């Protein structure tokens, strides 16, 4: 539907036109872009497939085919078609589509090379072409969710000539093209291929007329006080200021997510939100130099705020005006802890002694010392920023303190920190988490005899290692989508490349594991140490998880039960890796909270 000041002007049933399959409304491929003339809309949908012919009652093996045109479809119904993995299982062959509102005609754009999956499209400055991100999908697709290291490029498709031109590096991972208001500059993000599944990124800018690209912001190895690097998955859809020189974007900066103003000509960065009490800022849009954003903190749900961007050079201090304010939630306080690993060679890299952080949420009610719930994040290349998380605030209101650990390898602390975890998973991340726990116990009013673990995915991997290392230390453990058996994931996960990269091993599409590599993965796996676990464990898994097979938890559950350890398995038939959805999230939280209350 298209609406204007006079009401609804157009209503088109796109699927009924039969030109394509399901429209992509979210995820890395999705877009909905106006042409400059506002007469055409650009979007992405699944490529249309011929519907299988319904079987006739007289179809028998060896019977003659009914019609010559059925020959191509014969036997095609159950052919395997690759998709883009976890959370993208219905995304296989995306196509670019253009809807002409004046003629009410719909066309699937031609000219996109066969080896590319297109997405994130926008119109070129003259409306005669389309700029899009193309992901290489040969020889097969690897999982794309939370993976910024997949080969992709920024392309221009000339609609008149049908010519497709690569605008970014040949061997890189580029995304988020954003055209300046004057149509002269194209901003985009670019990262490296392989290695960490998420990373610190370059901010690149292309001059449209000359097709020349420059690096505006480079990868940051070691963070400074002013700038820790770019880690955003995407740029805001509208990030340019009216002057077509400055842009605003949000990115993790250590344990915060801040809004940064980038001067693309001077290649300088100004942090617009540093030092403000809210720990997470997200830009919704920037139009006519009006910034619209949300801000939140661990004890404060998101508030809607606006600000006018001042002229260049006079941006600070920026005056934020609340539009819809959210009050602070009672019973919760928070602080950031800085943790410094010892220099004793815990990690053999030169980076080994760099500090990391943890967020501590504490209840204001009840008698201290409080029981502590320890939460290492998943990923592992992710971050717990200081945003509002209802489940964590709820645990505080139930009387628990909560420690969110950003161990080395987390986003927001420089590329060297991310790289330091490669080949040290199951060691450095586990030691860092335990170090954060020890520091919190020393410095805060916490009960060392009432410790629990609450984590998911790679965080659950860390938690299981902690249970095996110190069997008497933790009294309760609740895990979501746990990683427990690394070699078993080689054939079941949508990201088999990460299993190699995490151990510092090279990956290629035709890779077959060697016996010694499988042995090394098993030695790093919690399942190999499960005989030492004594702590009651709750396991929550989604039957449709493509990232970490639910059979990982099933294997763990069976071994724990056989050894007499209290264990419970919750199996969500429609759940994916994130166990998302209101009903599922509510059930998972309720069960985890009851488990922690029971054993702590």
Catalytic residue ranges: 457, 545, 577
The answer to whether 556 touches 530, Cβ cutoff 8 Å, is yes
| Bridge-based pairing state of the strands 321-324 and 356-363 | unpaired
Tokens of 599: 């054993």
Between CA 456 and CA 470 the distance in angstroms is 19
Nearest to residue 364, comparing CAs of 338, 335, 401, 327?
401
Q: Which residue has the tokens 């605003």?
A: 248
| Alpha helices (H) in 123-279, listed in sequence order | none
The answer to whether 208 touches 186, Cβ cutoff 8 Å, is yes
- HSE (CB half, 13 Å, CA atoms) of 575? 24
User: Cβ neighbours of residue 18 under 8 Å, at least 6 residues apart?
Assistant: 48
231 φ/ψ sector (left φ>0, alpha ψ -120 to 50, else beta): alpha
Between CA 555 and CA 572 the distance in angstroms is 16
Between CA 357 and CA 335 the distance in angstroms is 10
Give phi and psi for 444, each to the nearest 5: -125, 160
Tokens of 557: 């559950």
| 219 secondary structure, DSSP code | P
**How far from 400 is each of 365, 450, 451, CA to CA, in Å?**
10, 10, 10
Tell me the three-class secondary structure of 1-62, residue by residue: CEEECCEEEECCCCHHHCCCCCECCCCCCCCEEECCCCCEEEEEEECCCCCCCCCCCCCCCC
Between CA 411 and CA 495 the distance in angstroms is 19
**How far from 310 is each of 244, 250, 291, 450, 495, CA to CA, in Å?**
14, 18, 11, 51, 44
| Alpha helices (H) in 369-474, listed in sequence order | 390-397, 415-420, 428-443, 458-469
């Amino acid at each position: 539907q298209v609406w204007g000041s006079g009401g609804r002007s157009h209503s088109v049933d796109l699927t009924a036109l039969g030109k394509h399959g399901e429209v992509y409304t979210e995820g890395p491929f999705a877009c909905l872009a106006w042409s400059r003339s506002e007469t055409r809309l650009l979007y992405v949908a699944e490529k249309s497939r011929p519907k299988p012919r319904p079987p006739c009652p007289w179809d028998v093996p060896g019977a003659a085919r009914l019609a010559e045109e059925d020959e191509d479809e014969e036997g095609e119904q159950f052919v395997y078609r690759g998709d883009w993995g976890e959370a993208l299982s219905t995304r296989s062959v995306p196509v670019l589509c253009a809807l002409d509102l004046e003629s009410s005609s719909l066309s699937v754009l031609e000219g996109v090379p066969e080896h590319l999956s297109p997405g994130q499209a926008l119109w070129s400055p003259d409306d005669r072409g389309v700029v899009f991100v193309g992901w290489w999908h040969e020889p097969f697709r690897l999982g794309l969710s939370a993976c910024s290291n997949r080969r992709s490029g920024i392309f221009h498709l000339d609609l008149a000539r049908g010519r497709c031109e690569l605008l970014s590096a040949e061997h890189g991972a580029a995304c988020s093209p954003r055209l300046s208001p004057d149509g002269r500059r194209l901003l985009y993000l670019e990262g490296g291929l392989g290695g960490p599944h998420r990373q610190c990124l370059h901010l690149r800018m292309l001059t449209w007329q000359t097709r020349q690209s420059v690096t505006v912001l480079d990868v940051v190895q070691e963070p400074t006080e002013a700038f820790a690097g770019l880690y955003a998955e995407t740029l805001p859809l509208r990030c340019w200021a009216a002057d077509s020189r400055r842009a605003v974007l949000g990115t993790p900066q250590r344990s915060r997510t801040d809004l940064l103003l980038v001067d693309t000509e001077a290649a300088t960065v100004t942090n617009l939100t540093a030092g403000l009490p809210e720990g997470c800022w997200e830009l919704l849009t920037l139009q006519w130099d009006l910034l619209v954003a949300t801000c939140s903190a661990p004890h404060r749900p998101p508030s809607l705020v606006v600000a006018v961007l001042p002229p260049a050079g006079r941006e600070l201090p920026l005056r934020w005006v609340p539009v819809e304010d959210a009050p602070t939630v009672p019973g919760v306080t928070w602080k950031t802890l800085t943790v410094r690993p010892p220099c004793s060679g815990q990690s053999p890299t030169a980076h080994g002694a760099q500090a990391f952080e943890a967020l501590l949420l504490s209840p204001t009610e009840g008698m201290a010392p409080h029981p502590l719930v320890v939460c290492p994040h998943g990923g592992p290349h992710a971050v717990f920023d200081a945003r509002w998380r209802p489940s964590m605030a709820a645990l505080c209101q139930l009387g628990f303190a909560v420690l969110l650990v950003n161990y080395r390898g987390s986003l927001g602390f420089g590329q060297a920190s991310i790289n330091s975890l490669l080949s040290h998973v199951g060691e450095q991340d586990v030691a860092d988490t335990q170090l954060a726990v020890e520091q919190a116990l020393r410095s805060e009013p916490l009960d060392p005899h009432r410790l629990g673990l609450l984590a998911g995915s790679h965080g659950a991997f860390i938690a299981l290692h902690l249970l095996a290392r110190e069997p008497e230390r933790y009294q309760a453990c609740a895990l979501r989508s746990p990683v427990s058996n690394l070699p078993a994931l080689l054939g079941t996960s949508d990201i088999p490349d990460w299993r190699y990269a995490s151990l510092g091993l090279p990956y290629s599409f035709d890779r077959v594991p060697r016996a010694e590599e499988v042995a090394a993965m098993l030695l790093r796996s919690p399942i190999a140490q499960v005989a030492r676990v004594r702590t009651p464990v709750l396991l929550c898994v989604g039957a449709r998880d493509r990232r970490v097979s639910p059979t990982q938890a099933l294997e763990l559950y069976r071994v724990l039960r056989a050894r007499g350890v209290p264990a419970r398995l919750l199996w969500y038939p429609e759940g994916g890796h994130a166990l998302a959805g209101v009903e599922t999230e509510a059930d998972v939280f309720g069960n985890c909270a009851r488990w922690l209350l029971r054993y702590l």
